[in-house]
Amino acid sequence: MLKKFLPNEFVNNVYAITPEHLKNLGIKGIITDLDNTLVEWDRPLATPELTNWFRGMKDAGIKITVVSNNNETRVGKFCEPLGIPFIHRARKPLAVSYKKAYQLLNLKADEVCMIGDQLLTDVFGGNRQGIHTILVVPVASTDGIWTRFNRMVERRILSSFKKQGLLQWEDKK
């Protein structure tokens, strides 16, 4: 059962994910979480570095959509200036948002990856849909109120993976 929470890859941050790497995996699109994956949960806009990362992906022909459990105001304020389509109040890890996202990109599940900072929402939901999952270290050490509970559960799962030699999470920080 815990294998559904094991990401295909884990990286320090989104900047470690390159178009070349994704193309080598046959990935044509990115479904990404927003809060604590791309920017801190309380940062309203993209940083210049993140804007350049998005541009590099788009220039390489990799489509992007943001899928967030947050509200439309939060997600729209971030995505609209970048011209990135988004799904708000996604209810991850439920399947509907993942299916809607890869259909929005006009791709199949095996042609996209899911990038996120949470095992219980991003990785679990992506794995259940057969999507390549990439776990990133959260960009902030604080979380919104709803995420704090998830983090407690995640620590136990990550500890189990570490004991089994499946994930060296602390080494990535």
Span 105-111, average pLDDT: 97
Span 121-144, average pLDDT: 89
Question: Within 10 Å of residue 146's Cβ, how many Cβ atoms?
Answer: 9
How do the domains of the chain map onto residue ranges?
Answer: 2-168
pLDDT at 140 over 90: no
Name the pTM for this structure.
0.89
CA 97 to chain centre: 13
Instruction: Give the burial class of 85: count Cβ atoms within 10 A of its Cβ; 0-12 exposed, 13-18 middle, 19 or more buried.
Output: middle
pLDDT at 109 over 90: yes
pLDDT tens digit string along 25-63? 999 999 999 999 999 988 999 999 999 999 999 999 999
pLDDT for the residue 146: 62
- Picking from 17-21, 77-81, 155-159, which range would have the lowest pLDDT averaged per residue? 155-159
pLDDT for the residue 143: 60
pLDDT for the residue 144: 60
CATH label, 2-168, candidates 3.40.50.300, 3.40.50.1000, 3.40.50.620, 3.30.70.980: 3.40.50.1000
Identify the band that residue 166 occupies on the pLDDT scale cut at 50, 70 and 90.
confident
Give the amino acid at 108.
K
pLDDT for the residue 110: 97
Q: Which residues pair with 132 in a beta bridge?
A: 113
